[in-house]
Amino acid sequence: MFNKSKKNESKLHQKERKLAFFLLFPTIFIVLSIVIFPLLANFWISFKPISLGDLRPPELIIKENLRGKLINKDETAEIHYRYRNSSAKYDLNNVIFNDKLPKGFTIKKIEPNNTCEIKDKNLTCNLEKVPAKSSGKIILEIATNDYWQKSKDNPKNTRPTTSYQSKNILTSFEFTFDNFKKVFSATEFLQVLKVSIYYTIFGTAGALLVGLFAAQTLQKSFKGRTFVRGLLLFPYISPVIAVAFSWVILFDPFSGVVNSMLLQMNVIDKPINFFGQKYTDISVFGYIFKFPLALSMVIAFEIWRYFPLSFLFILARMQSLPEDVFDAAEIDGASPFQQFYYISLPFLIGIISILFLLRFIWTFNKFDDIFLLTGGNAGTRTFTVNVYEQAFAISNLGAGAAVAVVIFTFLLVFSLVFIKYSKKEAF
Amino acid sequence: MFWKYGLFCSIFAGSIWGAFWQIIFTMVGILTFGIPLELDVNQMLIIGLVSGIFYINFQRIISMKIHLTAIFTMTLLVYVFNFGKPYQINESLNNINIFILIFLTSAVTWISINFSLNKISIGKLSRYDLENFYIKLMWGLGLIIFILITLIPFYIMIMTSLKNQQSLILNPLDFSLNINSDFKTLFNSYIELFTDFNFHLFLINSFFVSCVTVFITLFFSIPGAYALARLRFPSKKLFSSSVILIYLIPSIVLVIPLYAIFSQIGLRNSLFALIIVYPATTIPVALYMLRGYFSSLSSEIDEAALMDGLSRVQIIFKIAIPLSKPAIVSVGLYVFMIAWNEFLIAFMFLDDPSIFTLSRGIISLNSSEVPQQHLMAGAVIATIPVMIIFLYLEKFLISGLSTGGVKE
């Protein structure tokens, strides 16, 4: 009896296991093919000397020209086929060239005649190899015959066809360390690292602090609180493209509201290019120091856009805090700051540290915001913007992929820390 | 210590509110009248300070009459301070408007002082009262600042989109709308976007891509989330945590290989490419959110249904999905928002203007040839659907949280 039920249960387990696999299979498949596979492909590309132009496979480009006039019978003319390898890097191999000639011609001469032959008006040339950048010519001397006078075929009516093989740089086994050398040796590497770290730390901490402050503000109940709560989430949910461009226009040096306002109130005497100026001199008690203006603006945008997320999570956690704890503290004579410091904060520290780690990772990975605000200029180039810069602006895909590998390495370290802590907090 | 006295609190609150409202109302004045106004923080700071001291001394006997007298006195003081010419305005035009502005500044400052110093005595304060005073002050300032900084970019966005090129160049600060102008001139930018810039196509493309993404995501993530929440299978824990890890991988790390591969197979410049890539980024999120919701439902129902002879697949359709409708709707809307707002992949993949999504289309407006108000009108068009969905999402989120599984 006992045995039987155990057997049944294990059967049930097996069935469940199969079903679970069946239900999760599509997800696993999609994630493997669109996330994990490209991730590995990124490693592969980072070791390859590949530029944006190499993605277009090398082609044999052919131009056909007719030289001479064909009016009457027995007139001769020449057909010139000029071919060219479109790639500057890669050879074309096993190149075979075909063209069909109209009936109305007789062929007199083929140049070069060792590679070409004609069978039933079919011209076939075995060009074997067309090296990179090189070009060549096939010349056909033709004469019109009786049939031509009736048909008046133009020899250019039939397009030549070709077949060839070329090396695909993506799948070849050609590797190089140049991309990583380039990424690490460049003087800008340290600069990019510095900017990334500043951006990540100040962006994350700022958004968290502002979020915490906003949550404290909305903790107290007042008329219209739900409305304000919804309002404060606007920056987070709006399309990044919309809010980033409205910031750019708001701070525009020529027609922006902020600059005009400051000018009219006599706070500044000439407009400030907020997103285009790397440093601005600020004097504090006679000391003049360089303030990284564009970077600070980008960080301010990051804080503005993402404080709602922290705010929402912290507020939700605060509202799950039982009221009577505060009532008891009130009776014991605890002051508001004491209540915050000794009751709320210890309760919130879990969610705050999780939010910090999560936001830290996301801020480090942030691309859209900086790209739309400054395009990575004026001292705001982080690693993510550098991926775009290397791969698509300088067209060096390999170097871009190498930067992406650097980002992924950082990400891996952060994630390990995150997992270690999130287990404690049961996120 | 001096800062523990009510008198100091009144000086502090009075001067802070005075300076704060002076800055805010000078800006409001510039934006509504479109004329230069000199910012003078000090005058209102001093007037606020005096009013604070006045209030804390006489709050017990204060009546409506005294309120009004105080506000008018503050207004008068501003004129006295400036020898009758506040805001350094030499021309005598719009004197009524300037008076109203100063009166409003005084009134709001006075009300704020009332609010902050209510029931604060002039002598030494207890720690509790003192902290309450500072918290109240910070709360008031914080609330106003939060609302302002959130709204200003959106305000600029909408107002810029309704202006025309000449008035923008003439005076970037003039946001007074000519209400008498007809519909066509007011919404000129929007009309041009739809007639000359193919925005109707972009809208359709964005809707299409987002809806398909939602459908594919839900289709795969509902069964997956159910499996993760209910079924027992080996390495389930590992699977759950790798879902979060995959969610953390940014698209900038994936964009180069995806670009290379999609270019080679000739899929890059197509909406189909987006429909393949977007679900892959949203399925882990949806899986994670739905798994949490399914786990919160009581498993008793499932067990009862199993006893009654329903299969697991039937349970998903007949029990799990109907019970978690609010959660599924909110996850669906969330995925819609992600797909709608997505920018990087669309920017990299789409070259052909007829298949642009809204994000991609707005990027193409960001050039010196296209006027600013068109760009902002595009931004408004992209934002409105998200705002509408968000209003629904808020409602569903609340109902999703309050709908329990088994009622006990």
Sheet holding A92-100, edge to edge: A116-119, A122-130, A92-100, A161-166
Among B89, B253, B364, the residue to mutate for chain A (most A Cβ within 10 A): B253
**Measuring CA to CA, which residue among A373, A334, A353, A325 is closest to residue A426?**
A353
Which residues, listed in sequence order, are joined to residue A355 by a DSSP beta bridge? none
Residue with tokens 């909406």: B271
State the Rg of chain B over Cα.
30
Determine, for residues A242 and B380 on separate chains, whether the beta-carbon distance falls below 8 Å: yes
Evaluate if residue B200 carries a pLDDT over 70.
yes
CB pairs < 8 Å spanning A and B: 264
What's the whole-number average pLDDT of chain A?
A: 84
**Residue A405's pLDDT band (cuts 50, 70, 90):** very high
- What is the per-residue burial (b if ≥16 Cβ within 10 Å, else e) of B193-202? bbeebbbebb
Tell me what the mean pLDDT of segment B195-214 comes to.
93
Residues making up chain B, counted from first to last: 408
Q: Is B402 on the interface with A (CB under 8 A)?
A: no
The stretch A376-389 carries a mean pLDDT of 91
Nearest CA in chain A to B172: A255
Q: B220 and A230: CB-CB below 8 Å?
A: no
Residues pairing with A110 in the sheet: A140
pLDDT at B402 over 70: no
CB contact under 8 A, B248 and A35: no
Residue identified by tokens 């380039």 is: A182
Q: Under DSSP, is residue B403 helix (H, G, I), strand (E, B) or coil? A: coil
* B309 touches A at CB < 8 Å: no
Place of tokens 């083929």: A110
Interface predicted TM-score of the whole assembly (ipTM), two decimals:
0.89
Using a CB-CB cut-off of 8 Å, the residues of chain A touching B173 are: 257, 260-261, 264
Place of tokens 């705010």: A311
Give which of B173, B249, B336, B356 to mutate to test A binding, by max A Cβ within 10 Å. Answer: B249
Residues of chain B with C-beta less than 8 angstroms from the C-beta of A397 = 256, 259-260
Least confident of A211-215, A256-260, B274-278, B403-407: B403-407
Instruction: Give the residue carrying structure tokens 């129902």.
Output: B301
Residue B93 has pLDDT above 60, yes or no: no
Tokens of B135: 């918290």
Contact with chain A for residue B38, Cβ under 8 A? yes
User: Which residue, B399, B329, B298, is CA-closest to B321?
Assistant: B329
Enter the DSSP assignment of B308: T
> What's CA A342's distance to the chain center, in Å?
45
Give the separation between CA A344 and CA A221, rounded to whole angstroms.
17
What residues contact residue B404 under an 8 Å CB cut-off, 6+ apart?
Answer: none
**Helix B325-341, helix B271-296: angle, nearest 10:** 150
Would the CB atoms of B169 and A255 count as touching at under 8 Å? yes
Given a cut of 70, whether residue A25 has pLDDT beyond it is yes
The DSSP string of B163-192 is S-HHHHHH-TT-----TTS-HHHHTHHHHH
Helix (H) or strand (E) holding B348: helix B344-349
Query: Among A290-294, A412-416, B59-63, B143-147, which stretch is predicted with the lowest mean pLDDT?
Result: B59-63
**With an 8 Å Cβ cutoff, is A192 touching chain B?**
no
What secondary structure, in 3-state letters, does chain A show? CHHHHHHHHHHHHHHHHHHHHHHHHHHHHHHHHHHHHHHHHHHHHHCCCCCHHHHCCCCEEEEEEEECCCCCCCCEEEEEEEEEECCCCCCEEEEEEEEECCCCEEEEEEECCCCEEEECCEEEEEEEEECCCCEEEEEEEEEECHHHHHHCCCHHHCCCEEEEEECCCCCCCCCCCHHHHHHHHCCHHHHHHHHHHHHHHHHHHHHHHHHHHHHHHHHCCCCCHHHHHHHHCHHHHCCHHHHHHHHHHHCCCCCCHHHHHHHHCCCCCCCCCCCCCCEEEEEECCEEEEEEHHHHHHHHHHHHHHHHHHHHHHHHHHHCCCHHHHHHHHHCCCCHHHHHHHHHHHHHHHHHHHHHHHHHHHHHCCCHHHHHHCCCCCCCCCHHHHHHHHHHHCCCHHHHHHHHHHHHHHHHHHHHHHHHHHHHHCC
Q: Where are the domains of chain B?
A: 2-161, 196-402
Residue B267 is given by DSSP the state -
Between the alpha carbon of residue A74 and those of residues A107, A148, A173, A398, the distances in Å are 11, 9, 55, 58
At residue B169, the pLDDT reads: 66
Does pTM top 0.95 for this prediction?
no
Candidate ranges A173-187, A390-404, B58-72, B181-195; pick with highest mean pLDDT = A390-404
The residue written with tokens 């226009």 in the block is A249
Instruction: Please say whether the beta carbons of B104 and B128 come within 8 A.
Output: no
pLDDT higher than threshold 50 for residue A345: yes
B248 and A411 in contact by Cβ < 8 A? yes
Q: In B, which residues are within 8 Å of A235 by CB distance? A: 150, 153
The DSSP bridge partners found for residue A354 are: none
The span from the CA of B85 to the CA of B95, in Å, is: 10
Of A90-99, A175-184, B79-88, B162-171, minimum mean pLDDT range: B162-171
Q: Which ranges of B122-232 does DSSP label H, i.e. alpha helix?
A: 127-161, 165-170, 183-186, 188-196, 199-230
* pLDDT one-digit tens code per residue, A251-290: 988 878 888 888 877 788 888 888 988 888 877 777 888 8
A241, A250, A363: best to mutate for the B interface, most B CBs within 10 A: A241
Chain A residues lying within 8 Å of B156, measured CB to CB = 246, 249-250, 257
Q: How far apart are the two ends of chain B, measured CA to CA in Å?
A: 58
Contact A148, A104 (CB under 8 A): yes
Give the per-residue pLDDT at A48.
Answer: 86
Beta bridge partners of A125: A97, A116
Tell me: pLDDT of B398 over 60. no
The answer to whether residues A166 and A91 touch, using CB atoms and an 8 Å cutoff, is yes
Q: Please answer yes or no on whether A217 and B160 come within 8 Å at the CB atom.
A: no
Average confidence score pLDDT of chain B: 84
A379 touches chain B (CB under 8 A): no
Q: Which among A10, A212, A249, A385 is the top mutation candidate for probing chain B, defined by the most B β-carbons within 10 Å of its own β-carbon?
A: A249
User: Who's near A94: CB < 8 A, 6+ residues apart?
Assistant: A128, A129, A163, A164, A165
Cross-chain CB nearest to B36 (options A38, A168, A264)? A264
Q: What is the pLDDT of residue B177?
A: 63
**Residue range B196-402 in CATH 1.10.3720.10:** yes
Check pLDDT > 90 for residue A303. yes
Q: Do B391 and A230 touch (CB under 8 A)?
A: yes
Q: Among the ranges A143-152, B146-155, B166-175, B363-372, which has the highest mean pLDDT value?
A: B146-155
Q: What is the pLDDT of residue B407?
A: 24
Query: Residue A30 is nearest to which of B160, B223, B279, comparing CB atoms?
Result: B279
Bridge partners of residue A96, in order along the sequence: A126, A163
The minimal CB distance from B150 to the residues A19, A56, A232 is found for A232
CB contact under 8 A, A231 and B39: no
A202 compared with A135, residue with greater pLDDT:
A202
pLDDT band at B397 (very low <50, low <70, confident <90, very high): low
Q: Please write the tens of the pLDDT for every residue from A115-147.
A: 777 777 788 888 778 888 888 888 888 777 777
What are B123-156's pLDDT values in tens digits?
888 888 888 888 889 999 999 999 999 999 998 8
Q: What distance separates the 2 farthest-apart alpha carbons in chain B?
A: 90
Q: How far apart are CA B264 and CA A170, in angstroms?
A: 9
